[in-house]
Amino acid sequence: MNELKNPFASEEITPAFNDEWQAKRRVAAAVRLLTEVLVTSSPDTSKMHDIAEQLETTAADFAASPRVYGRLDWIRSGEHGSYGQVSHELNPLAGYSNPLAPPVTTRIEGDVAYGHCFCGWAYEGPPGSVHGGYVAAIFDQFMGFAQKLGKRPGMTGYLHVDYHQRTPLTTDLQLEARITSAEGRKTFMEGKMYAGDALTASCNALFVEPRQGIYSLEAQARPEEVFSPPASDRG
Ligand SMILES: CCCCCCCC/C=C\CCCCCCCC(=O)SCCNC(=O)CCNC(=O)[C@H](O)C(C)(C)COP(=O)(O)OP(=O)(O)OC[C@H]1O[C@@H](n2cnc3c(N)ncnc32)[C@H](O)[C@@H]1OP(=O)(O)O
């Protein structure tokens, strides 16, 4: 399968589809940086109000450009890439063009998937440690990608996470996943998260292929069935 069309392709190995996404990746990186600075700095209050005003102006400027809501809307014109390419950019855990994404990157080597992730201070749960909900979200994304190891990718049926010790912030986190068994539409997997040599969390997950296959989700979804905000919110 062409990597660029593959929704499971990792940002680590796939460049931006075009200049638009390259530029969006840059904006996303700036927003990520802003988030990190926001939660780790203490300017005086009046300076913060000034910063807020500048950012509000920037957001309003940005919002005046043509708006596109949701992946199906993004692919409609054909100018922004395929469903896979757009997902690749906007995925909330792995998309370089989505500032919510830490991001999680992944690669396949033989029958093991490897990945990594780096969580800054905005992800703090317990002191100095990644919030457990983000640990689970990182696993969900990573295991979802790692299904590429198998033959019948699906949606997460369950994700059981064991938290062995706190997962440190500002540390390169290494991820590893394997398929443990597969049975019809069901793929059972295990995953591990390491900080250096320390196993901080592990998971067991079941992914279930939809009856018509994973790509049927895209084909079945009609634009009118997809949530979009009222016209008044479209800026
Ligand atoms: C417009 C979209 C286009 C997309 C197209 C491109 C694809 C690219 C994809 C991804 C790329 C990036 C990677 C991201 C990764 C992120 C992953 C997520 O976060 S996924 C979101 C969270 N998960 C859900 O929202 C699932 C919601 N649940 C469901 O949709 C269904 O429940 C589903 C599909 C999981 C199962 O539905 P059934 O109708 O097939 O159910 P039955 O036939 O009863 O189950 C089949 C077998 O699975 C077992 N099963 C199902 N759920 C189970 C569970 N929770 N625990 C244990 N067994 C379970 C059942 O017992 C059954 O087993 P027996 O055949 O009898 O042996």
Other C-beta atoms closer than 10 Å to the C-beta of 173 total 24
Domain that holds residue 185: 3-220
CATH of the domain at 208: 3.10.129.10
Question: Ligand 1 centre from 22 Cα, in Å?
Answer: 33
Question: How many structural domains is the chain composed of?
Answer: 1
Would the CB of 141 count as within 6 Å of ligand 1? yes
Cα atoms in the Cβ-side hemisphere of radius 13 Å centred on 186 = 9
Whether residue 154 is contained in a domain is answered as yes
Whether residue 228 is contained in a domain is answered as no
- The atom number, within ligand 1, closest to the CA of 209 reads 34
Whether residue 225 is contained in a domain is answered as no
Whether residue 28 is contained in a domain is answered as yes
**134: CB partners within 8 A, 6+ apart:** 102, 119, 123, 125
Q: What is the pTM of this model?
A: 0.90
Give residue for tokens 């190995």.
13
Whether residue 230 is contained in a domain is answered as no
Q: Report mean pLDDT in 10-residue bins for the chain, 235 residues.
A: 48 78 96 98 98 98 95 89 88 95 92 96 98 98 94 95 98 98 97 98 97 76 46 41
Residue with CA at minimum distance from ligand 1 atom 34: 210
Q: Do the beta carbons of residue 175 and residue 117 sit within 8 Å? A: yes
Q: What distance in Å separates the CA atoms of residue 89 and residue 82, rounded to the nearest whole number?
A: 11
